[in-house]
Amino acid sequence: MEREYASNRKNMYNTPPKWLVIFPLMMIIFCSVVLFFFVQEKKDSDKFMETAVPTSAECTKVHRTLNTHENGPTYYYNADLRYEYNGMIYHAVDFSVNEDTKTGDFIKVYISPDNPNDVRMPMTDKEFNFSFYVFIFMIIVGVVCMVALLVMSRKHNSRMDEPWEIK
């Protein structure tokens, strides 16, 4: 009885629980879904840019939004834009800009000729590549962790004979 207790206690502390595999699996699924939508957004941006028309837009108002979290404050800069296309004046509200943009500045934006109210900035390859590789790395880490947990679980579950057991 004492030997059985010691053996079970040893396995209890060395064997990761099988349900622990859920965490890397959730990480893999989450990162895969986010990566899928991110790639779709890049495809949509590239398709938009094929027909988009560049134009100059005036920043009529620039405002800063504060987002506080445990790592400190983060500021987001948005602007209200005014631009002209085919003799008509259009406005865009809360257009994301960088921190150097001031009221009265002109920035280059792209608009859809079919819908001039659709105004965007192109997604740069640098932005896309960084995010893409981060999510791929996270998926690989999740797969490695899941495989390691499964191997450890299987190795400990296939119990070897204890040296003191009588055959």
Q: With a threshold of 0.85, does the pTM exceed it?
A: no
113, 53 Cβ separation under 8 angstroms: yes
pLDDT in tens, 101-126: 889 999 999 999 999 999 988 877 88
pLDDT at 161 over 80: no
- Residue 149 domain boundaries: 1-51+122-161
75/116 same-domain check: yes
pLDDT, one tens digit per residue, over 14-49 is: 566 777 778 889 999 999 999 999 999 999 989 999
Let me know if residue 62 belongs to a domain. yes
113 and 74 share a domain?
A: yes
Say if residue 110 is in the same domain as residue 132. Answer: no
Residue 108 sits at φ, ψ, to 5 deg, of -85, 125
Report the C-alpha gap between 159 and 14 in whole angstroms: 12
Claim to verify: residue 114 and residue 134 sit in the same structural domain: no
Report if residue 31 sits inside a domain. Answer: yes
The verdict on residue 129 lying in a domain is: yes
User: In the structure encoding, which two tokens stand for residue 12, read together?
Assistant: 């209890």
Q: What is the pLDDT of residue 167?
A: 53
| 20 plus 35 within the same structural domain | yes
Instruction: Please indicate, yes or no, if residue 33 is contained in any of the structural domains.
Output: yes
Q: Domain count for the chain, please give it.
A: 2
Residues 57 and 46 in one domain: no
Closest of 109, 105, 85 to residue 95, by C-alpha: 109
Give residue 4's pLDDT. 52
Are 94 and 115 contained in the same domain?
Answer: yes
CA separation for the pair 66, 69 (Å, rounded): 10
Same domain, 57 and 40: no
Q: Count the neighbouring beta carbons within 10 Å of the beta carbon of residue 91.
A: 13
Containing 145, the helix (H) or strand (E) segment is helix 125-157
